[in-house]
Structure 1
Amino acid sequence: MSKKKMTHKTDKRKTKNDITNIVINFFNSNSDKSFNYKQVAEKLGFKKPAEKQVVNNILFDLVEDAFIIETSRGKFKSNNRGLFLEGIFERRSNGKNFFVADDDAEESHIFVAERNSAHAMGGDRVKVQMLAKRKGRDPEAEVIEILERKQNRFVGTLDVQKQFAFLVMDSKMLANDIFIPKEKLKGGKDGDKALVEIVEWPQRAKNPIGKVIDILGQTGQNDTEMNAILAEYGLPYKYPEKVEAAANKISDEITAEEVAKREDMRNVTTFTIDPRDAKDFDDALSVRQLKNGNWEIGVHIADVTHYVEEGDIVDKEGESRATSIYLVDRTIPMLPERISNNLCSLRPNEDKLCYSVVFEMDDNANIKKHRIVRTVIHSDRRFTYEEAQDIIETGEGDFKEEVLKLNELAKKLRGKRFESGAIAFDRHEVRFEIDETGKPISVYFKYAKEANKLIEEFMLLANRTVAEFIGNVPKSKKAKTFVYRIHDLPNSEKMENLSEFIRRFGYKIKVDGSKTAVSKAINHLLDEVNGKPEENLISTIAIRAMAKAVYSTVNIGHYGLAFEYYTHFTSPIRRYPDMMVHRLLTRYLDGGRSVNKLVYEGKCKHSSDMEQLAASAERASIKYKQVEFMSDKLGQVFDAVISGITEWGLYAEINENKCEGMVPIRDLDDDFYEFDEKNYCLRGRRTKRTYSLGDALKIKVARANLERKQLDFALVED
């Protein structure tokens, strides 16, 4: 059977530029063959002599542009560099897909047209072939192999027809909806939110074919939407029954034999300070004055690894999850509630097993000595942060002397940290008051007060001490493999951008010099903007200049905290790296050999990746609640500030509640606006009017799309 010719309707309106693009696409699709101008014209359906002559002229233009080469007289072939690259494919619903090569430090985007995508999906590792580059055009590539699928499960809303259904996507990860045969619906009804797995995507099919994995519930219901957010990020939204059953069988008995192996600190004043709604108390503080006048401060951490054995079903589930997840209205624990809220939670008036770092320090918070020991404790009191803060502010309440002494020491530890170059990012967090159905009824901001900082300071001290104990060895010795929490230096280019950006507000910052000098300059800037309208914006830009903190076996120190050695030891109920640290500590204290570095580096990378996913899900849940909160305020006018600039519009953040929405560029209809990426602004071509990051605006709430978690604003002129 002969192949159909590629045909194109030709009329007087088809310009030379149109025909050029058609010819370019033809050579991209036939990059390994040579053609003369008559063959090209015939295959593209250009039959008139004048059209053939235009094609001939275009071929010589493309030779001049080095897009094609003349292989022999009158024969032309794509000037394919034959460059094959591996990297990550990113899909966009508007068809503007792109590829980022593995070794591309600048992360520049190489365009991949939909016809050249081979049905790759966002996040897939792929192999591409670079297409011949035309002068003045961006580089373009074609996917020739999918090396590793990032995900094949998607969340959306079912559109059920008589004989089949479609999953209409919540996210913009796929250009097309997923086709679902009726027998693969798993009881799903029209309008249900569902988790669907792609099982096949035939090469010539427009839509992938999928099957329903789970029905999440009816669209719009709070539980459904929160579970949908988790499923969208590939995070668990329910606990496997087998794991729950295994956790329920763990004995809660503390035997005399176990107590005998430990330091008994049950007679020392001990208490916890946690959020009001917390149930998993994984840290406690003890305090007593010694005969020499110094203070013994104990940082006691739940001994989770005493109960959870390495490699058992509960441990494997915890390692897979790697972290607890905190959405607006719920916590999805890393470990089953039997462990996190019962066995290991340091509840008051109960004996509990702990891993402890016990310090002896003087009145100036100078550490004289410390010990890392397994202990048994008995908490005398459970404080909320608000209760502890009240004692700090009034000097009255239970255990007031102990609380006030701990706060006094914590402030001195904090002062020393900042003197060494630690950075003070004290940003507020958006919180919602929600009713029994999960609907947000008000927005408030959570600020870290002295009680929060008290706990933070002693946790930082314990984490640093444990990391130094393992990592800080004499030069003649090699440190054993360990899990560190590392934070690299700020990106110099981003620091330059920050410096340039804050200049418009009248601020300056030192971007070079010693680590301490730069961190002190950042702190000075944060102090200067404190309480100003631009505070949140400048803090956000400053944070973006920072590297992300991650887990690694290769210690480079923690820049933000100004620590040479740092780890995570203090939250084993909610972070798997802390469980790894507890086990490695036990092994090394018992004289064990170093573990396999490569294996633990893999575990570190998994934990870092899961931490980022959990943070993304948390942000998505906040965004959903913001849109839900604003959905009954359509048409209302608010004061806002420009918080982001893109080529498709500007983002504005409402001052009073920090809800962010977008003003689409298409709605800025008084001029043609162009995006100036370097200066964070949109500039009108005719009027030269600019919209810059940080500008004050009045906006009106125009649309609230819960499915897309998107608010649209309209500008209101003064």
Structure 2
Amino acid sequence: MGRKKKNKLHKKKRGGTYNKKKLKNAILSTLYENPGKTVNYRQISGSLSIKDPETRKLINVALQELADDGYVDQISRGKFKPKARTGKVTGIIEMQPQGFAYVISDELEQPAVISSRNLNHAMEGDKVRIHVYARRKKHDLEGEVTEILERAKTIFVGTVQTTKNFAFLIPSGKVGFDIFIPKEKLNGAKDGQKAIAEIKDWPQNARSPFGEIIEVLGDTGDNDAEMHAILAEFELPHKFPQNVDKAAEKIPLEIPKEEIKKRRDMRKTTTFTIDPADAKDFDDALSLKKLDNGNWEVGVHIADVTHYVRPNTIIENEAQDRATSVYLVDRVVPMLPERLSNGVCSLRPNEDKLCFSAVFEITKDAKVKKQWFGKTVIHSDRRFTYEEAQEIIETGEGDFSEEMLKLNELAIKLRDERFDTGSIAFERVEMKFEIDEKGKPISVSFKESKESNHLIEEFMLLANKKVAEFIGKVPEKKTPKTFVYRIHDKPDPDKLSSFNTFIKRFGHGIQLSTPRAISTSLNKLLTEVKGKSEQNVVETLAIRTMAKAAYSTRNIGHYGLSFDYYTHFTSPIRRYPDMMVHRLLEKYLDGARSVNEQKYEGLCKHSSDMEAKAANAERASIKYKQVEFMQDHIGKTYPGTISGVTDWGIYVELENKIEGMIPIAQMDDDFYIFDEKNYALVGRHSRKSFQLGEKINVRVWRTNLERKQLDFRLAEQDKE
């Protein structure tokens, strides 16, 4: 009898908890030790001593993503083989303010440092191949870019500087070069103006790339020019092409009678919207009706955008490219033309509107007894601002007070249950500027979430969760149909462990044994620090340990919410993934077959990328207004809290939440060394230390609007 040959991997003593990123890393190092072997997820589980079913399921997702990124080949369904190693590593460039870069790669356990001279013309976000040097003891991994595989961008925004015969564009943001512009390629741009340039060539020996001006935005300091420049910096549009606006204008506001006949008519049910005071795009409405059996019928009604925006039209293509609305300090750049976002689709009061609805029968204990998803027609009775709804909740008086109070009572129960099952209670305070007619910030205030915000949030979460479960939760051994999920990976175990070490100095600690223990103890910690001096630093660091949420067809659950299935269904006016979800849900309710996963995974990745760009643009606009606001406060002293420590300086947040930096070069009373482990700068001679979370007094030293930089000096050290 012949001996059966087993395809075994070397057993590694790993085990422990993994998030997706760590798991990809571990899988690659296992595969590289077994070159040429074809493996499946079971063999990987055995090799890494992974026994829990959740992480074993995650292995499949990690393998798919490694195949997408070109690290492994999929030989057949569920079977993978590592690509031959070349001694080179592939990764993404992350530029740092001082000119060097990190390369982030699944092949490396930590980022590799690339000095500016070894970047070889690589830029922020580029996909590159690097040669990693032999590692010196206790030193960072270092490397050199050997090839640029994919350019992240060739279009840059900045300020024009002209000389007699040529000009340069000085780019905004983290860019380590200026762009040389020949005189004849200026296209009317004048010295000091904001403009957009495209790189046309970067000769091997040239210090700067060569480019041409493709759009002049306006004068530096002009509010519109600056906001358009921020959008352009993150490759976001600031206006719609004319043909898209024209196509939108043709869409009628009136609803044909035959369309109403095809839908569930809910116009007689009490319905209202609750939104910010300045909102015009009302995505969602809530309805409430008491049922004969004592339960409540709650309708979550979402604008039926995909009824109006059809596949393969110019409005659809524009929405897909944009993927999200962008919210800057003083404006919204919508995903859909205004005719749709603020008109046809917006659930305005006293108008019949088409919706895609999730209707739930809910008990008085907020348990869902029945659910229904489908197309409806609604008629909103009232538009509330959050402030108006809050007043009704607090006083018990006002329009539809009975319905408002009942919905709030159910929302509180849903919220309590969510936190009981491991949802994490991150509450971030939102900064709001009061701005004059020229766009200049006059004052700063903060928006805090109250019960009226929580009321809307809970019913939106419920609809998103139930839609995702309806498609994704299938009997065992059955494959769910392709769908768009909102996923959130577990925190990085290493970051959590150093966070835990750091908070011990404040007398706090979290449990790290299981994902559930982490979330429960994290909630306890967030409650404990409320109102204490360390609150901000603990909350900020806790958020930094978290992964970023993203869109994917490969469901791994949502860790922060503690939901096994979650999607985005409730905001199709401002998010493209919600439009995809509406289309897929409609298809599957009609019994259609599963769609092509690869196509939708590509759209998910694009949507995640655009969401990140929009968030960065929003942050940049806030930073710009902060620096502009502080220009009138130069020389003044303020108390602050150290909010970040790096080897180039200390970041300090003032009581108005505005953050600036004390450059290390200005701390000239000693030679300060960065103690990464303890988040501190320590004086070599005096041993004086500046640590994250510490209170200090600072003087506003200088502002640089061009770079969105605010610099402080230590109040007691400022000799000027």
Who is 1:240 aligned against? Answer: 241
Who is 1:429 aligned against? Answer: 430
d(CA) in 2 for partners of 1:714, 1:149: 38
The residue matched to 1:422 in structure 2 has which SS?
coil
d(CA) in 1 for partners of 2:558, 2:308: 31
Instruction: Tell me the amino acid that sits aligned with residue 88 of structure 1.
Output: I
Who is 2:205 aligned against? Answer: 204
Matches within 5 A, 1:70-469: 83-91=87-95, 94-106=98-110, 108-114=111-117, 116-130=118-132, 140-175=142-177, 177-469=178-470
d(CA) in 2 for partners of 1:352, 1:238: 27
Instruction: Tell me the amino acid that sits aligned with residue 661 of structure 1.
Output: G
Instruction: Tell me the amino acid that sits aligned with residue 357 of structure 1.
Output: A
d(CA) in 2 for partners of 1:684, 1:310: 62
Who is 1:577 aligned against? Answer: 577
The residue matched to 2:145 in structure 1 has which SS?
strand
Once the two structures are overlaid, the 10-residue window that deviates more, 146-155 or 256-265, is 146-155
d(CA) in 1 for partners of 2:482, 2:474: 12
Contact 2:536 2:693 in 1 (8 A): no
Instruction: Tell me the amino acid that sits aligned with residue 652 of structure 1.
Output: V
Q: CA deviation digits over 1:13-70, x for unaligned, max 9?
A: xxxxxxxxxxxxxxxxxxxxxxxxxxxxxxxxxxxxxxxxxxxxxxxxxxxxxxxxxx
State the shift of 1:692 in Å: 0.5
d(CA) in 2 for partners of 1:687, 1:88: 40
Q: CA deviation digits over 1:345-387, x for unaligned, max 9?
A: 0000000000001111121112111111110000000000000
Instruction: Tell me the amino acid that sits aligned with residue 681 of structure 2.
Output: L
Once the two structures are overlaid, the 10-residue window that deviates more, 517-526 or 581-590, is 517-526
State the shift of 1:292 in Å: 1.5
State the shift of 1:406 in Å: 0.5
Once the two structures are overlaid, the 10-residue window that deviates more, 685-694 or 122-131, is 122-131
State the shift of 1:598 in Å: 1.3
Matches within 5 A, 1:578-617: 578-617=578-617
Who is 2:628 aligned against? Answer: 628
Who is 1:75 aligned against? Answer: none
d(CA) in 1 for partners of 2:706, 2:99: 20
**Same amino acid, percent of matched pairs:** 61
Once the two structures are overlaid, the 10-residue window that deviates more, 91-100 or 326-335, is 91-100
State the shift of 1:152 in Å: 1.1
Where do 5+ consecutive residues of structure 2 fail to align? 1-84
Q: Give the 3 Å change call, closer, same or farther, for CA 684–93 of structure 1 in structure 2.
A: closer
Contact 1:99 1:112 in 2 (8 A): no
State the shift of 1:93 in Å: 6.8
Who is 1:77 aligned against? Answer: none
Instruction: Tell me the amino acid that sits aligned with residue 487 of structure 1.
Output: H
Q: Give the 3 Å change call, closer, same or farther, for CA 254–191 of structure 1 in structure 2.
A: same
State the shift of 1:494 in Å: 1.4
Q: CA deviation digits over 1:599-639, x for unaligned, max 9?
A: 11111111111111111111111111111111110110100
Who is 1:62 aligned against? Answer: none
d(CA) in 2 for partners of 1:93, 1:388: 45
Instruction: Tell me the amino acid that sits aligned with residue 148 of structure 2.
Output: I
State the shift of 1:130 in Å: 4.4
1:717 aligns with 2:720: no
Q: Give the 3 Å change call, closer, same or farther, for CA 134–482 of structure 1 in structure 2.
A: closer
State the shift of 1:293 in Å: 1.6
State the shift of 1:113 in Å: 4.6
The residue matched to 2:632 in structure 1 has which SS?
coil
Instruction: Tell me the amino acid that sits aligned with residue 355 of structure 2.
Output: C
Higher Rg: 1
What is the aligned-residue RMSD (CA, Å)?
A: 1.7
Contact 2:114 2:145 in 1 (8 A): no
State the shift of 1:516 in Å: 2.7
Contact 1:111 1:141 in 2 (8 A): yes
Q: Give the 3 Å change call, closer, same or farther, for CA 138–270 of structure 1 in structure 2.
A: closer
Count of residues in Structure 1 that have an aligned counterpart in Structure 2 = 633
Contact 2:92 2:103 in 1 (8 A): yes
Who is 2:472 aligned against? Answer: 471
d(CA) in 2 for partners of 1:241, 1:659: 39
The residue matched to 1:711 in structure 2 has which SS?
strand
Who is 2:661 aligned against? Answer: 662
Q: Give the 3 Å change call, closer, same or farther, for CA 142–362 of structure 1 in structure 2.
A: closer
1:681 aligns with 2:671: no
Instruction: Tell me the amino acid that sits aligned with residue 358 of structure 2.
Output: V
Contact 1:100 1:110 in 2 (8 A): no
State the shift of 1:252 in Å: 2.5
The residue matched to 2:114 in structure 1 has which SS?
strand
State the shift of 1:490 in Å: 1.6
The residue matched to 2:651 in structure 1 has which SS?
strand
Q: Give the 3 Å change call, closer, same or farther, for CA 442–87 of structure 1 in structure 2.
A: same
Q: Report the TM-score, using the length of structure 1 for normalisation.
A: 0.86
d(CA) in 1 for partners of 2:375, 2:99: 57
Instruction: Tell me the amino acid that sits aligned with residue 484 of structure 1.
Output: Y
Q: Give the 3 Å change call, closer, same or farther, for CA 258–441 of structure 1 in structure 2.
A: same
State the shift of 1:181 in Å: 1.3
Instruction: Tell me the amino acid that sits aligned with residue 126 of structure 1.
Output: V
Contact 1:283 1:300 in 2 (8 A): yes
Instruction: Tell me the amino acid that sits aligned with residue 89 of structure 1.
Output: I
d(CA) in 1 for partners of 2:512, 2:610: 32
Contact 1:644 1:650 in 2 (8 A): yes
The residue matched to 1:406 in structure 2 has which SS?
helix
The residue matched to 2:237 in structure 1 has which SS?
coil
d(CA) in 2 for partners of 1:531, 1:137: 40
State the shift of 1:257 in Å: 0.9
Who is 1:706 aligned against? Answer: 705
